Amino acid sequence: MILAFVELTLAHTKLDALQFVLAVLIGGLALRAYTLKLQGLTTLTVSREVAKMVTPDLAANMRTRLEEGQKIMVAARGITPVLSFAMDEAQLRKATLFVLYVKEVAVYFTAAGTPLGRSKWQDDPEANAIMCSMFKLGSERGINIVPLYAVSQDAAATIVDLAATMGIDFLVIGASQRTAMTKLLRGSVATNVAQHLPDSIKLLIFG
């Protein structure tokens, strides 16, 4: 507004002075545009909503987090595509892959002699098949495989506990394969894990 009043005043009093001011303004704008062009910058007009999204720390938040030496844990439940996905992630990040198999047992089975806690995966046919396959594929792809095995009444709680204990960076689990009735009675493993997993561990749900 002030600049406009100055220009109007000059227009009524001194035409030469007005021409000089306009020349300076045009020259300054032209010089600014040329400088931005040399720097590879472009002036872009965006809406207020878009401007709020583009914050100064946006670049830092979007920066890749691919760091060597990270730990990835995959909760295995049979030989499924989630294992292949976890291996791809481990190979991409050059990370150690922890393969966890949790044998979930009902409470009334434990009285018959099924010990809770960590047992030998070699004694479990399904876990043995999974671990042997992962060792073979890991050797072929240069991925360090660490087997983990546990017998538990609560698979989700065991997964969360071991992930925190082992200092895992990324936890990969498959979408729940439980029936609707089982989910109603006992809940989804993925949902229960997501609710109790520490914030420091990133959760990836495949499928």
- Give 110-127 pLDDT, tens digit per residue: 455 555 555 788 999 999
Task: For residue range 62-100, list pLDDT tens digits in order.
Answer: 555 556 689 999 998 888 899 999 999 999 999 999 999
> Taking the CA atoms of the chain, what radius of gyration do you get in angstroms?
31
CATH code that applies to domain 71-206: 3.40.50.620
Q: Give the residue extent of every domain in the chain.
A: 2-62, 71-206
User: What is the distance between the alpha carbons of residues 74 and 86, in angstroms, rounded to a whole number?
Assistant: 6
User: Which residues are within 8 A (CB) of 130 and not within 5 positions of it... i.e. 6 or more apart?
Assistant: 76, 78, 79, 83, 99, 101
Residue 143, pLDDT score: 95
Task: For residue range 52-64, list pLDDT tens digits in order.
Answer: 666 666 555 555 5
pTM score > 0.75 for this model? no
The strand order across the sheet containing 71-76 reads: 145-152, 96-104, 71-76, 170-174, 202-206
Task: For residue range 13-29, list pLDDT tens digits in order.
Answer: 666 666 666 777 787 77
8-state DSSP, 176: P
User: Which residues are within 8 A (CB) of 116 and not within 5 positions of it... i.e. 6 or more apart?
Assistant: 105, 110, 151, 152, 153
